Amino acid sequence: MDALPFPIGRPPSRVGPLARFLPPLEAGSARRALALCEPQDAWLLDPFGASPRLVVELAACGVPVLTACNNPVTRFVLEGAARPIPISDLRTALARLATAPKDNQRLERFVLDLYLTSCSRCRTAVSADRFVWDREQGFPVVRTYTCPACGHAGDESTDAADRERAAGYTRRGLQHALALEQLAPVGDPDREHAEAALAVYPGRAVFALITLLSKATALELEPPLRRAVEALLLSTFDAANALWSFAEGRSRPRQLTASPHFIETNAWRALERAGQDWELEGPGIPLRAWPHDGGLEPGTVSVFPGPSRDLAATLERGRVRRVVTVLPRPNQAYWTLSALWAGWLWGREIAAPIRVALRRRRYDWAWHAAALRTAVSGLGPALADEAVVLALIPEAEPGFVAAAALGLDAAGFEMTGQAVRAEEGQAVLAWQRRPSSATGIEAASLTPRMTLPARQVIEARGEPTPYDCLHAAAWGELASQRLLAPLLQAEEARSLTLLNDRFEKALA
């Protein structure tokens, strides 16, 4: 197995929408990774579509790119990255929403008034920028505002009126019912799961968001402005939930659980800021829906709106020679919210492919290894006999690397190279499709094979070595010898845990 040069990138100038959920891929790393993946004349497949940045950057290099993207929310972000929404459209869309009538006033004023508080200095009514909730107490404890009358600003404790106003938005009103109806109507088996997902929003947020959504739906907008409105709403949906921590710093949530102290942002203020997420600098990459007539075109992204197993049926036998991807990380929060947001924006039919995320509450690395195997194996006959895979993992950790090694081995690939940046939590792994004769292997017999490469890494470095580097070397050795597949094929559910435990004890 080779040591790969790491395709180091740089922090992006703009992180873009939904950045806390999408892979934090550095700008430029996809372009550098391209040089590591032969044959250079072959078009590229990304079977997961988890990173819009990866796909757009690869296409910007002039390469034909085909991606399977089953998540409609991620597809929408991909479209925004490839064909940035003009700033003028974003501003016009916001203005159209602001001036829409609601209860004999502008929609802007109506939503702002949902967050009214009073200035502690001059007692003027003012719309708070945000409230901080104590999850255990069940009410807001801090308010943030700037008084337009006297200029007083800051964070202050809430009063009884603030808490009473927040409690007035129950989960039994019309807006709450509409929010559920968009995804799972009464009688739908997923109804209770949709309710659990919706619970991550404060009652006032649900009222504000569905009010905005209803007004946006009623507006007669040209397609470019409709797209801009949907972009603004999508960012606002993300900003308004209870996954934004106050003080604890949970910047990349993965579980759909409200933080102990969470921020309830003013939905209109979030809508005003949302345009900044979508003001992206882009080369203007052509997008085409796959399948389409003609071949894949250089510098163009062809997008298949479904999973990789369905994409394979549209490809000729042996056509896939080169796969470059960012491996998706299990994220119950994003996958569940995506189903909710897609239902709100585009309806139940569009959300249907990812509604299964509503039912699953937890994901472990063994599940993820099996999911990766299923996804890659699903490409089946479309893969060339010696197809290569280059996978970037921007959030690498031992469990993720082990799941990738196990899953790709079980899908018929031999690991041929790797590079790890332990301090940055990044990894890149290379595989090639090759047959394996390994059978009947028990997890206990693999420990000696794991400790040897770990010792070799320590000796080569001549200094204390991060555990992540040792772990990657150990699992890489097993994956390069195709010794992992029998474990997953035998459905040893605890294989990952057992191997990791034995490896740690051997190093101790």
Domain boundaries along the sequence of the chain: 2-83+285-436, 87-278
Q: Do the beta carbons of residue 464 and residue 417 sit within 8 Å?
A: no
Answer positive or negative: Cα dihedral of 243, 48, 183, 347: positive
Give the burial string for 296-329 (b: 16+ CB within 10 Å, else e).
Answer: beeebbbbbbbbbbebbeebeeebbbbbbbbbbb
Q: Is the Cα torsion angle 6, 9, 11, 15 positive or negative in sign? A: negative
Residue 438 confidence (pLDDT): 65
What is the C-alpha to C-alpha distance for residues 409 and 415, in angstroms, rounded to an integer? 8
Supply the DSSP string of 404-450, one letter for each residue. HHHHHHHTTEEEEEEEEETTTTEEEEEEEE------S--GGGGHHHH
pLDDT 10s digits, 280-326: 877 689 999 999 988 899 999 999 999 999 999 999 999 999 999 99
**Reported pTM:** 0.95
Write the DSSP symbol of residue 317: T
Whole-number pLDDT of residue 488: 67
- In angstroms, what CA-CA distances link 80 with 286, 306, 323, 475? 11, 19, 23, 37
Single out the residue of 191, 182, 176, 276 nearest to residue 236, CA to CA. 276
* Tokens standing for residue 292: 């389409």
Backbone torsion region of residue 440, taken as left when φ is above 0, otherwise alpha when ψ lies between -120 and 50, otherwise beta? left
What are the beta bridge partners of residue 105? 102
Which CATH architecture fits 2-83+285-436?
3-Layer(aba) Sandwich (3.40)
pLDDT along the chain (508 residues), means of 10: 91 94 96 89 95 96 97 98 97 98 96 98 98 96 98 97 94 89 91 94 97 97 98 99 82 90 98 96 89 93 97 95 97 96 96 92 89 94 96 96 95 96 96 80 78 92 92 94 79 70 84
Locate 326 and state its tokens: 């960012």
Q: Which residues pair with 101 in a beta bridge?
A: 106
Instruction: Report the C-alpha gap between 358 and 321 in whole angstroms.
Output: 35
The helix/strand/coil state of 12 is coil
Task: Tell me the C-alpha to C-alpha distance, in Å, between residue 217 and each of 210, 276, 389.
Answer: 10, 22, 43
pLDDT at 360: 84
* Amino acid 39: pLDDT: 81
Instruction: Respond yes or no on whether the N-terminal peptide bond of residue 291 is cis (omega within 30° of 0).
Output: yes
What pLDDT score does 170 carry? 81
124 three-state secondary structure: coil
pLDDT in tens, 464-498: 899 999 999 999 999 999 998 887 665 555 677 77
What is the percentage of the chain residues whose pLDDT exceeds 70? 96
